Structure 1
Amino acid sequence: MTGDAPDAPEPGGIPGKRSLRPLGGVLAAMAVSLTGTRISVVALPWFVLVTTGSATRTGLVAFCEMTPYVVVKAFTGPLVDRTGPRAVSWSTDLASAVAAAAVPLFHALDLLSFPLLLVLVALIGAARGPGDLAKEVMVPEAAERGRVPLERATGLAGVTERLASTVGLAAGGSLVALLGPLTGLVVNAGCFALGSLIIKLALPRGMGHTAGEAPSPAGGSEPGYWRRFGEGFTFLRGEPLLLTVIVMVGITNLLDAAIASVLVPVWARESGNGPASIGLMGSVMGAAAVGGSLVAAVVAHRLRRRMVLLTGFLLAGAPRFLILAVGAPVGVVLAVFVVSGFGAGFVNPVLGAVLVERVPRRMLGRVNALGDSLAWAGIPLGGLVAGAAVTAFGLAPVLLACGTAYFLTTNLAGLRREWREIDRTRGRGVLKPRCEEDAPRDSAHAVP
């Protein structure tokens, strides 16, 4: 990686010298924090299951973590735009590390009641939301500094996420099986702390600070928090394509949360495969998703986005639920998860590029926060509803219902007229000077 000493600045404040250090730093911080999070995906549900024996309580823990994640993230966008994503990222990662470390500490002191556990996981979720958002917002700036095409940068971010899932889930399953779930939570805290240090110390100076606001029409003072929030909401409301994608992803996220936080752990326990199988399934799916994301990073900008997304969702969704429902051997289950992971690897790079292309850079934090929060709104309910449904109806009927819902949601949404615009947004906003990206757009936000 090159150093951070810039040549003469170009319009928009991006240094003239190409540097891959910013993108590498952001991706490294993503990698370590996401790895810790994926370890806790195995450790925390298993800890609750073995200590309480309740699928409902397992779902309640997932609900208490993800509800603050979604709510706080929704309202953090104006803060990220005003304060800058770098400061928000390192400070919230540090807060996540403290809250995650408190769980094994209080358990060791015999002070960890179930209500206190709920409070601690809620604090982790509340800190994770802004931290994840801030890192996402820094990706386009890092791509500009490195002269990397936007779809390639978002593809590399997708590779990082998938690789973190692979390593994290494998490590989580192994740690839980060998040393117990609390060891996994200690490692989770350490990963958050390391991510905070990378953002604080490793990125070049000037990276991740506030993007300039558009001048006030009356030449007045800089807009306040609620005005910034309202601008983001108004912008998103005028984007039918983004709203259609958000609703679809919101439903699929609910179903993904259900299978990750409750259905797979319950399947692992009932089938006798144990926590190691959870990590193995997540690892093979994550490894295949890394491959899919790498392919997407290289060729996605040459393919028709609509077809890529529909195919990716078709492979990534329903097959996972259905194969678990029919009681197939573990080898067959792993093969299906490999195919699903490869399809999933194509989804986020394309969706990430579409979002960044359609949103002015100065509003990226608040619009991204609102869009992510709406898309993630069902995640807190996924584990809660799945836990109650498994208790009431059993595992197989719930898996079949979820797989059917996933298939219908992605295919029906893909037939809507707005989806035709996905291929027509290509190239809009990619590596343009900020002064051009931040120019006001007409009220209809029409796609040329």
Structure 2
Amino acid sequence: MTAVEAVGVQVPTWRGGFGRLWTAAVLSKFGDSLRTAALPLLAASLTDDPLLITLVSACGYLPWLLFGLLGGAVADRVDQRRAMWAVDVVRGILMAAFAVAVALGHASIALLIALAFVLTTLQTLFDNAATALLPSLVPESALGSANARLMTGQQIAGGFVAAPLVPVLLAGGVALPYGVDAATYVVGAFLIASLRIPAPERAPRPAGATLRGDIAAGVRVLWRDRPLRALCWATTLSNIGMGALIATLVMHVKWWLDAGDGGYAAALTAFSAGSVAGGFVAGRIAARLGRLRSVLVAGVVQLVCLLAMGLVRALWAALACLALFGVMSIVWNVSQRTLMQERSPREMLGRISAAYRTLAVAGAPLGALLGGAVATAWGFNAPVLLAAGVFVLAVGVLVPVRGQSAEARAASEG
């Protein structure tokens, strides 16, 4: 594992396996973005029932709530590299079969819902294993930069490459986006399987150890680590705000700002561009401020952006705010993931990551429901102001722990 110094920030080299992991992650995000963009169009062509269409998207959240903790416990028991490439092989086979079904005209809403549920269930194992695997590929000093590079590459692949390609691929056949997605899984599996790293060393498991006990141990470690606990609650709260923002952004731009479809497309582009820019500055901000202070600053800036969006009725202001909001989203995500990897015992990282993500993921659908309710009751700018209020709570949770070191584990603090 090697890293190089760049303007005071340790960055990983592409050798030693990180380059292959990065390529696999970016390819997977590219394929997933193709599928995510194409599935609603396919669902809308199969039914005009809004509930059934939204169920396809809802299944992207439900498995995390049902199986996220289990996926983390399994990730800590197995060889993460093998688990990841095996999951990608299964997902590739499923997507290839689905592409054939679509091409033959056998697609149905039930099939779409089942596919979304199964793929996300498999993702709970893959994502937790990936989080636990990264520290084996890069030194701890380069974890922040490695996470930033991963997120930036995924944002570019998903937001700027995949989305414009969907209409092109659909012109070649309704099943083509799903076939490409299947191919990305297969290539990703090959890249991950080619990593040459030793299997993780683990102490012998005590007699009678169960997955339930493993899950409980991971939750206890997360709860006892005061900075991680605060960060988990803050991220959950921020996800409630994000859920309200994302679910109602189209209404905010098209109806409150009266900016039409073009304005909505510009808003999405502004956020994506800001997210990419955030990947280039996240490491430097964390090096200057520290992980926790970086998240705190990101939350304050996002809070100001949301207030401006909800009070200033102008498209240019919304675009500027969304771009800056996107920058700070990546700063937040890079810092919180790196902090979790730095503070967690290596042998429990999958479980701690799972407990963290399961709680955080639950915030998004709750926020979406709240956003729709307040938009109906108080107007189309109300969800943005609701999100701002939630971010006030998220920032408040972080203030008491802002000065605690990211490098020193807090096992003794519990």
Question: Counterpart of 2:299 in structure 1: which amino acid?
Answer: F
Alignment of 1:283-302 (within 5 A): 283-302=269-288
1:337 and 2:322 matched: yes
Query: How much does 1:363 deviate?
Result: 1.0
Query: 1:433 maps to what in 2?
Result: none
Tell me, yes or no, if the aligned pair for 1:38 and 1:172 is still in contact at 8 Å: yes
Deviations along 1:114-160, one digit per CA (max 9) or x if unpaired, are 1221111111111112111111111112123xxx51xx423332332
1:48 and 2:38 matched: no
Tell me, yes or no, if the aligned pair for 2:306 and 2:385 is still in contact at 8 Å: no
Q: Distance in 2 between matches of 1:257 and 1:224?
A: 35
Partner of residue 196 from structure 2, selected from 198, 204, 213? 204
Query: How much does 1:89 deviate?
Result: 1.0
Query: 2:407 maps to what in 1?
Result: 427
Structure 1 window deviating more from structure 2 (133-142 vs 67-76): it is 67-76
Query: 2:115 maps to what in 1?
Result: 120
Q: Distance in 2 between matches of 1:61 and 1:325?
A: 33
Partner of residue 393 from structure 1, selected from 376, 394, 411? 376
Query: How much does 1:295 deviate?
Result: 1.6
Tell me, yes or no, if the aligned pair for 2:244 and 2:372 is still in contact at 8 Å: no
1:174 and 2:168 matched: no
Change (3 A) 1:285 1:245: same
Q: Distance in 2 between matches of 1:179 and 1:328?
A: 35
Query: How much does 1:162 deviate?
Result: 3.0
Tell me, yes or no, if the aligned pair for 1:258 and 1:386 is still in contact at 8 Å: yes
1:158 and 2:151 matched: no
Task: State the SS of the aligned residue for 1:99.
Answer: helix
Query: 1:368 maps to what in 2?
Result: 353
Normalising by the residue count of structure 2, what TM-score does the alignment of the two structures yield?
0.82
Over the aligned positions, Cα root-mean-square deviation in angstroms equals 3.5
1:446 and 2:413 matched: yes
Change (3 A) 1:254 1:211: farther
Change (3 A) 1:249 1:423: same
Query: How much does 1:86 deviate?
Result: 0.8
Normalising by the residue count of structure 1, what TM-score does the alignment of the two structures yield?
0.76
Query: 2:225 maps to what in 1?
Result: 239
Query: How much does 1:415 deviate?
Result: 2.4
Change (3 A) 1:50 1:268: farther
Deviations along 1:55-80, one digit per CA (max 9) or x if unpaired, are 54443211112211343222122211
Query: How much does 1:338 deviate?
Result: 1.9
Task: State the SS of the aligned residue for 2:387.
Answer: helix
Query: 2:10 maps to what in 1?
Result: none
Query: How much does 1:446 deviate?
Result: 0.9
Tell me, yes or no, if the aligned pair for 1:253 and 1:375 is still in contact at 8 Å: yes
Alignment of 1:78-157 (within 5 A): 78-144=73-139, 149=141, 152-157=142-147
Question: Counterpart of 1:252 in structure 2: which amino acid?
Answer: S
Pairs aligned (count): 398
Question: Counterpart of 1:155 in structure 2: which amino acid?
Answer: S
Query: 1:36 maps to what in 2?
Result: 31
Question: Counterpart of 1:393 in structure 2: which amino acid?
Answer: T
Q: Distance in 2 between matches of 1:258 and 1:179?
A: 31
Q: Distance in 1 between matches of 2:127 and 2:114?
A: 20
Q: Distance in 2 between matches of 1:105 and 1:258?
A: 36
Change (3 A) 1:32 1:364: same
Query: 1:434 maps to what in 2?
Result: none
Partner of residue 194 from structure 1, selected from 159, 168, 187? 187
Query: 1:273 maps to what in 2?
Result: 261
